[in-house]
Amino acid sequence: MSEKSVFNGVFPIGDTDTQTLPVRNLGAAIGYYTAVLGFELLEKSETRAQLTRDSVSIGLEKNQSDPEQASCYFAVSNVELLHAEYTAKGIEPSEVRMDEHGGKRYKVFFAQEPYGVCFCFGQAATEA
């Protein structure tokens, strides 16, 4: 089995609720989050789904919110491994770059799911 990046946390960007990420088509979104982003479906109803990857849990919800206004940050163990995983799956993430937040430096990249939600994936940079 090949090595994978571990998801350690999820944090909202702006007023996004990571337990009610808005989607227009729940079934299609579940398919994308599981097949492409590597999440596992825990439970599903007509309007909601709960998914997990490693110790991170997120919720998808068919509601009136605009998916293009939703964003979240995923803390991961290895940005380069995750970037390679997503590149291999054809989702064309941004290049890995260094950003600063709260006085700390992070290696990050961005990706947007085809339904509108934007993601930032990152890990704290270690000083060399």
Q: What does the pLDDT read at residue 10?
A: 98
Whether 76 is covered by a domain: the verdict is yes
- The DSSP secondary-structure symbol of 118 reads E
Strands 56-62, 21-23: pairing is parallel
Q: What does the pLDDT read at residue 127?
A: 55
How do residues 14-35 score in pLDDT, each as one tens digit?
A: 999 999 999 999 999 999 999 9
Whether 14 is covered by a domain: the verdict is yes
Segment 78-101 shows an average pLDDT of: 94
Q: How confident is the model at residue 3 (pLDDT cuts 50, 70, 90)?
A: confident
Q: What does the pLDDT read at residue 114?
A: 87
Q: What does the pLDDT read at residue 75?
A: 97
DSSP 61-108: EESSS-GGG-EEEEEES-HHHHHHHHHHTT--PPPPEEEEETTEEEEE
127 against 56, higher pLDDT: 56
Q: What's the CATH number where 108 sits?
A: 3.10.180.10
Range of the domain at 34: 7-124
Whether 1 is covered by a domain: the verdict is no
Number of domains in the chain: 1
Model confidence at 88: pLDDT above 50: yes
Return d(Cα 36, Cα 2) in angstroms, integer.
16
Model confidence at 1: pLDDT above 60: no
For residue 72, which of 111, 115, 26 has the smallest C-alpha distance? Answer: 111
Model confidence at 101: pLDDT above 90: no
How do residues 44-74 score in pLDDT, each as one tens digit?
A: 999 999 999 999 999 999 998 999 999 999 9
Whether 96 is covered by a domain: the verdict is yes
